[in-house]
Structure 1
Amino acid sequence: MLRHYVSYNRWANHIIVNFLHDISQEDFSEDMKNSFPSIQATVLHLYAAESVWLGRLKGNPDAPFPLFEKFPSKKESLDLWESTSKDFEKFMSTCTDDFATQSITYHRMEKVEQTEAKWILHHVMNHSTFHRGQIITMLRQLGYDDLPMTDFIKYQRLQ
């Protein structure tokens, strides 16, 4: 089930990435009122979150949270996010079912934390769903319509 959820995440991210390739750079970086100030900042946050959690799941308790002094181009931003989603799916395809209950140790805000892999995976996938929804809302605010649907049930029907 967790592998399926990670595959869904990659599929949904891909759908959004494809749509975002067709919007203008101006709209991609437009300052908006949201959790993050733009679609681009949200995309880069999704990339960074998936990247750091993937590193932790792979056994690096100090996986760095990617930060940017200057935002990369739209294409580079989208490529980073999509590449990390693919890496997540590839990693999960190599994990045994026992991995879900493996305790993952990581550092967060100078504390040592331990969480079972299954809860981390649920958190990361749910986090991505939340922010994809924000991206859709920002696109609506920018006047886009005929927006992509990334509901889990749609993905399931396509399988």
Structure 2
Amino acid sequence: MSLKTLVTHSVQYNEWVVSKYVNWLSSKSDEQLNKEVISSFPTILATLHHIWQTQEYWWGHIAENDDFDFEKNSAQTGKEEIFSGLKNNSEKLTKYVESLSEADLLKNVKIESPWFQCNFSKYEYIQHIIMHGIYHRGQVVTMGRNVGITDAPMTDYNFWNIYKNDSPLQ
């Protein structure tokens, strides 16, 4: 399997999982989504907002437009905006990666921020986005159990891989 195929599958999987989570959590009450639970972030919505914000941040570097503004994007927003933003960013990332060549994925992008400096390939940053989202979505499932949400969808990569040819983003 080529790097291009692997990274493309990763972002397609991420988009599918985000869709599953948005569909799953859309029917949950605002009280459940905003109930404070001990975790990295205090609520399910705050965690989802963080995933979205982080995807947007890394998107700016990967796409080499560096237009992410932490100040502007740090304010907590409502459920629908978070869900929509997360889905839109995941779709944008998939389309972008699908348009890249293997050479594009191997291109290094230097980042100099107040917190760190690095010079890694685009595919490494893309993998970071995917792994970061997986980490926090696991927290969302655990947080959900603590507020009475026990019907999390199956989102293992292998599950997506087996069924990816059925219907996109089912």
Give TM class, smaller chain.
over 0.9
Q: Secondary structure at the match of 2:90?
A: helix
2:26 aligns with 21
Contact kept, 8 Å, 1:15 with 1:148, in 2: the verdict is: yes
Equivalents in 1 of 2:155, 2:115: separation in Å? Answer: 36
Match runs of 1:103-118 below 5 Å: 103-109=108-114, 111-118=116-123
Q: Deviations over 1:18-77 (max 9, x none)?
A: 011010011111111000010011010000010011110011346333211xx2221111
TM-score computed with the length of structure 2 as normaliser = 0.87
Identity across matched positions, percent: 26
Unaligned 5+ runs, structure 2: 1-5, 165-170
Contact kept, 8 Å, 1:101 with 1:116, in 2: the verdict is: yes
Equivalents in 2 of 1:9, 1:144: separation in Å? Answer: 22
Equivalents in 1 of 2:87, 2:66: separation in Å? Answer: 23
Query: Aligned match of 2:134 in 125, 129, 132?
Result: 129
Unaligned 5+ runs, structure 1: none
Note closer, same or farther for the CA distance 1:61–1:76 as it changes in structure 2 (3 Å cut).
closer
Equivalents in 2 of 1:99, 1:35: separation in Å? Answer: 34
Q: Say whether residues 1:144 and 2:135 are aligned partners.
A: no
Bigger RCO of structures 1 and 2 (CA < 8 A, at least 6 apart):
2
The count of corresponding residues between Structure 1 and Structure 2 is 157
Query: Aligned match of 1:36 in 31, 35, 41?
Result: 41
* Superposition misfits of 4+ residues, deviation over 6 angstroms: none
Equivalents in 2 of 1:62, 1:17: separation in Å? Answer: 26
Equivalents in 1 of 2:154, 2:116: separation in Å? Answer: 38
Whichever residue aligns with residue 111 of structure 2, its letter is Y
The Cα RMSD (Å) is 1.4
